[in-house]
Structure 1
Amino acid sequence: MIETVNLTKKYGSFTALDDLNLSIAEGTVYGFVGQNGAGKSTTFQILATLMSPTYGTAYINGLDVTKESAKVRRFIGYMPDFFGVYDQFKAEEYLNFYGASYGLTAYERAEVIPQLLELVNLSHKRDSYVDLLSRGMKQRLCLARSLIHDPKVLILDEPASGLDPRARVEMREILKELKTMGKTIIISSHILPELSEMCDEIGVIDNGKLMATGSVSQIQMELQQQKVITMTVSSDVERTVRFFEDDPDVINIHVLENGTIQFGYRGSDDSQQMLIKKAVLADIPLLSFKPIEKNLEDVFMEITKGVE
């Protein structure tokens, strides 16, 4: 549904987007992870037909976003990171205006607008002026605007930016509902744990380059060549440390609080099992022994570590 081929955007000598290749299947929720200035918004503006690439191509539903932009716009709903609203409109009037802009008849608008207001939990604000809505409500209204023409693809640039925790939860629940409706969604966010909950796949972009792409679990597996192990013992902390320091696959061992010891481990799963067995045979008083799973923030920090 979304594909980019060698997509590049340059501003003079500065490269904002560098040879980006993405392939996102229909019905996928794809999270785009990257710090400010990494190239997320540039990518989204090209996909939304608002900017032309320096070279390379992007496709939405098989349509070239540059050569067939008018057709592409029928398939996409775009929510930018910063957007303007018409303050003199009430919420329902705001959606009515955009529905008419997309060519919906008065009958179609009367059908779809109440449904969208209900979807984004704004039915009770239909007669409220847009400028009096909270930021979270404005974000949800902008999402409803993006859905007014029932697009197949949603391009959401930082939809949860600046929202309080409750508003972020509401936004996340709406996006889950859109996923069940079969929408293809590409979404960027700095709230990395929430992206890992919502997304089928993620892409990590840094300085315009795609550093990694795939499911969260796939990327975690690729990075977990070195595990981090946490174990707890009931006593004999110093003897335990000496025992594990003798294993060639154990590195960077640290003693934490309450009998907890943490270390890096470079061995295989089989060698890890043997290590546990040897520790038991050596009467190491183990209470727990478990690898620490890396979350999306750990993945992001490791992928972008040292990138200039």
Structure 2
Amino acid sequence: MRAQEKQAIEAVSDHLANLQRAPDPHALARVIGTTLGATGCALTIAGDCYRWGHGAGPWLEHTVEYGGQPQGILAVAPESAGPVAALAAVLGAPLAEVRLAAETDRLRRDGDAAAHELVDDRWRATVEMEQERRGLERDLHDGAQHHLVALRMALALVEHAGAATEQRLDTLMSKLDTAEKVLVGTAAGILPIALATEGLAAALKAELAGHEDVMLNTAGLRHRYAPLVESTVYFACLEAVNNAHKHAPGASIAATVRDSHLGLEFVVSDDGPGFTVTALNSGLPNLSARLATVGGTVTIRSAPGRGTTITGFVPR
């Protein structure tokens, strides 16, 4: 054994004896390189390279084993600094400890990342479930409630129907059947057939045909849009009409849906009593939340004695 290699083994042994924790591979490379008089020393452990010196000249590499298993690679430069076989034997246990520590740390990081990903997935699932719940809530509110308001109005008429009570009751039963179908379909996520097959204009005509106080104008609607956009505007129009029925009973209602090169727009106005617009009702929170899902906006204009106009817009 060369004197330099023996000195390197003794230096490494002394260095390891004074350690209170796992060996520092950078420090080991420095101790080995300086003791051998090498220009460079590198320890490759678990895929990571710990290097000391600039490493001038050809490198000599030697596999470090422990327990019959490779633990890393010892490389010194120049080749004249070796042979390092005896030194590699001494490094077996320390490199095994470094490798185990590195692999343990990597497994810990992978476990932390997996845990964070699981939390993120659960959070995303919770958010998506909440969004679905809110969407269903809005659909029930805007679709089924539209029919329930019509029922309330029909009941008020029955009180004054006199001889025509039987006919009024038949109308009420028909409206109850319609409301039940809408509730069941909405809860199951089923869109109106006319909306799914023929589009927004046909669906609004079918839905509002029974309301003599509503004048619908879809002449400016010439294009089809994505299903989510059409269903959003459909339910938004129904809610706007429903609001007019509730807050401006007896008023005439005009609903217009049109498209342009900028996007899809709907306007629902009534000549009812109107109200003072405040920050709380300036966008009607439910309408605003619905249109926001497709990047749309809603505005409201009203004043006491001047009716109300609700305008929604979804950009292309």
Fold shared per TM-score above 0.5? no
Give TM-score, length-normalised by structure 1. 0.22
Richer in helix (by share): 2
Quick check: which one's strand share is greater?
1
CA radius of gyration, larger in: 2
Higher RCO by CA contacts (8 Å cutoff, separation 6 or greater): 1
